[in-house]
Amino acid sequence: MNVKNRRAFSWGLGLLLLGCLMLSPFLQAQNFEAIAKKIKVKTLKNGLKFIVLERHEAPVVYFHVYADVGSANESYGITGISHLLEHMAFKGTKTVGTKNYEEESKILEEMDALYARIRAEEAKPHPDEAKLKKMKAEFEALRQKAKEYVITDEFVDLLMQEGDRSVNAYTSNDATQYINSLPSNKVEFWMAITSDRFLNPVFREFYKEKEVVMEERRLSVETRPLGRLLEDFQATAFKAHPYHHEVIGHMSDIQAITREDVRHYFRKYYNPANLTVAIVGDVNPEEVFRLAELYFGRIPSGEKPEPVRTVEPEQWGERRVAVEAMAQPFLLIGYHRPSVRHQDNFALEALASILGEGRSSRLYRRLVKETQVAIECGVINGFPGDKFPHLIIFYAVPARGHSVQECLGLIEEEIEKVKKELPKQEELLKYKRQAGMSLLQQMKSHARMAALLTYAEVILGDWRELFRQIEKINAVTAEDVQRVARKYLIKKNRTIGELVPQSSR
């Protein structure tokens, strides 16, 4: 039996490798057409766009609201405001989360005024400590008073008690995204609560929520060695563009941002021209559009905010950053590359895949299997975002007793190889199949599908682009891959970041 198997398998392998040269990538545009046909779109009069995909296998519906604003829209002094606003969007409205909005809002205004006076006093060359103490006590008293009007976390409770198992939101460098899921007979409830969220938001419990966000910063950046490295790596690679700072923002900015800052930011970035909604599940699109008009049609139209002005200039030379931490070494190399919309995007995706995706990729074979200097390595596009020119990053986790220098040397050798010799057809085909499969796997999930539709609509400019990706993937040639390697993977264009062990335990 073993002997028989051996032959069968060697034959299988031979056929496969041979076959690759003539086979085409197995996913074509028509594989995705059936899905694309089921999608219905409506833009309300105020400019808000709804993208709906019917899927009736289960009586559930997933919602995805994409606000085209992220930390890349922030400037000095308000870093972290996109994320803070995301937190505040869970605090309720003029009717949700309060026992008496009129009374509550008066106290909230008083708190803001007092907080400004405290900040002003603190900024003086010689702050009056006694006065500060008194003001802070007053502030705490006001906070207690305001709390009496609050119905704690009512906004989230209302959604969860209707069965929302995925109520959440995410802020990235590029976007702020709100997600929900409900039994499919509750679409109108979602319309009611979500339109209220964006029509009548009240940023209550603001000062305590800032403390929560500060804990989040400590948790995700400050106490995590890799978190610290990523923060400094971004800051080094981007000297001008706001990809420079971490999504969560600087501690001092989180502390200083005012409620008025948040309200202003909300007015600017949360108008219908800047929001896109995708709904996937057991729904009737016409009914969804009718309800959307009824509920979201109330939101006044606005202007698309001015795009980010700053463009990252060309580097003058290689940059390096070393972060010391009580941790084992870690290596990051980032090369500047253009936005995801650029024509070189898919060649760069293929490059990342050939070099760094899977156990048969070049880097894994070289660094992990052959030389055993690393236990993990890979190549990723889209860091820290992909809407603007960003980085293609190479990373390696050195094996015990090995250094980042060893990993760096080998990665450089592999990069030079791509520049010298064209990638093999089978490597390119592997990329095409894996990229197609990945797209397909993501589309299986309602939640991911909703996210992809909004992403394609906003970042790629049209939801249909999602279904055109496969053609662009399939069109990449070996020459393209080599060309982008030669163009972008150059020393002058890179930033190297490493974790330097402070003391080993």
Partner 1 sequence: MKRDITQFVSLKVKRFTKAGIIGLILLIALSSIALWAQKSPKDKFIYPPLNPIQVPPIEQVKLSNGLRVFLVEDHEFPTIEMRALVRTGSVFEPENKLGLAAITGEVLRTGGTKNLSGDEIDQILEQIAASIETSIGQTSGYIYVSLMKDDLEKVLSLLADILMNPAFREDKIQLAKIKQKSYIARRNDDVGQITQREFAKLIYGAKSPYARHPEYATIDSITREDILNFYQKYFSPDNMLLAVVGDFQVPRMKAKLEKTLGQWPAKKVKVPSFPPVKYNYVYRVNLIEKPDVNQSNIMLGHIGGLMNNPDYPALIIMNSILSLERMFKKIRTDEGLAYSVWGRYGAGYAVPGIFSCGAQTKSESTVYAIKLMLQELKRITQEEVTDEELRRAKDQYLNGFVFNFDSKTKILSRILTYAYFGYPLDFMERLKKQVERVTKKDVLRVARKYLRPDQVQILVVGNPQNFDQSLEVLGPVTKIDITIPPPPKKAGQGK
Residues in 279-298 that interact with partner 1 by CB under 8 A: 282, 290, 294-295, 298
List the one residue out of 219, 255, 292, 366 whose CA is nearest residue 42.
292
Residues 6+ apart with CB under 8 A from 13: none
Assess 95 for contact with partner 1 (CB under 8 A): yes
Nearer to partner 1 among residue 357 and residue 386 (C-beta): 357
Among 6, 38, 267, 424, binds partner 1 (CB under 8 A): 6
172 versus 180: smaller Cβ distance to partner 1: 180
The DSSP-derived string for 10-31 is HHHHHHHHHHHHHPPPS--HHH
Kindly report each contact of residues 359-365 with a partner whose C-beta sits within 8 Å and lies 24 or more positions away, as own/partner: 360/430, 362/414, 362/417, 362/418, 363/394, 363/396, 363/410, 363/411, 363/414
Q: Tell me: does residue 82 bind partner 1 (CB under 8 A).
A: no
Q: Which of residues 304-343 bind partner 1 (CB under 8 A)?
A: 325-328
Q: Which of residues 8-47 bind partner 1 (CB under 8 A)?
A: 8-10, 12-13, 16-17, 20, 26, 31
Residue 91's SS3 state is: coil
| Cα 88 to Cα 327: distance, rounded to the nearest angstrom | 35
Tell me the residue length of the chain: 505
DSSP annotation string for 341-381: TSTTHHHHHHHHHHHHSSTTSHHIIIIIIIS--EEEEEEEE
Q: Does 185 bind partner 1 (CB under 8 A)?
A: yes
Cα–Cα distances in Å, from 127 out to 81, 117, 122, 124, 192? 27, 11, 5, 5, 48
Interface with partner 1, residue 215, by CB under 8 A: yes
CB of 28 to partner 1, least distance (A): 12
- Report the nearest approach of partner 1 to the CB of residue 31 (Å): 7
Pick the binder of partner 1 from 139, 170, 189, 289 (CB under 8 A). Answer: 189
CB of 252 to partner 1, least distance (A): 15
Contact between 100 and partner 1 by CB under 8 A: the answer reads: no
What is the spatial distance between Cα 495 and Cα 234, in angstroms, rounded to a whole number?
9
In angstroms, give the least distance from the CB of 223 to partner 1: 4
Find the binder of partner 1 among 54, 112, 209, 312 (CB under 8 A): 209
The count of C-alpha atoms lying within 13 angstroms of the C-alpha of 166, restricted to the half-sphere facing its C-beta, is 17
Kindly tell me which residue out of 40, 117, 136, 224 binds partner 1, with binding defined by CB under 8 A: 224
In the three-class reduction of DSSP (H, G, I as helix; E, B as strand; rest coil), residue 107 is classed as helix
Stretch that binds partner 1, among 70-78, 106-114, 188-196, 239-247 (CB under 8 A): 188-196
* Nearer residue to partner 1 within complex by CB, 158 or 496: 158
Query: DSSP letter at 222?
Result: I
Q: Among 175, 278, 280, 368, indicate the residue that binds partner 1 (CB under 8 A).
A: 368
89 scored as a contact of partner 1 (CB under 8 A)? no
181 binds partner 1 (CB under 8 A): yes
Distance, in Å, from the CA atom of 390 to the CA atom of 312, rounded to the nearest integer, reads 9
Binding to partner 1, residues 434-463 (CB under 8 A): 434, 436-438, 440-441, 443-446
Q: Determine, following the binding rule CB under 8 A, whether residue 76 of this chain makes contact with partner 1.
A: no
> Sheet holding 374-383: strands in order across?
319-325, 494-501, 330-337, 390-398, 374-383
Site for partner 1 in 233-262 (CB under 8 A): none
Per CB under 8 A, 369 contacts partner 1: yes
Per CB under 8 A, the list member of 392, 429, 452, 456 interacting with partner 1 is 429
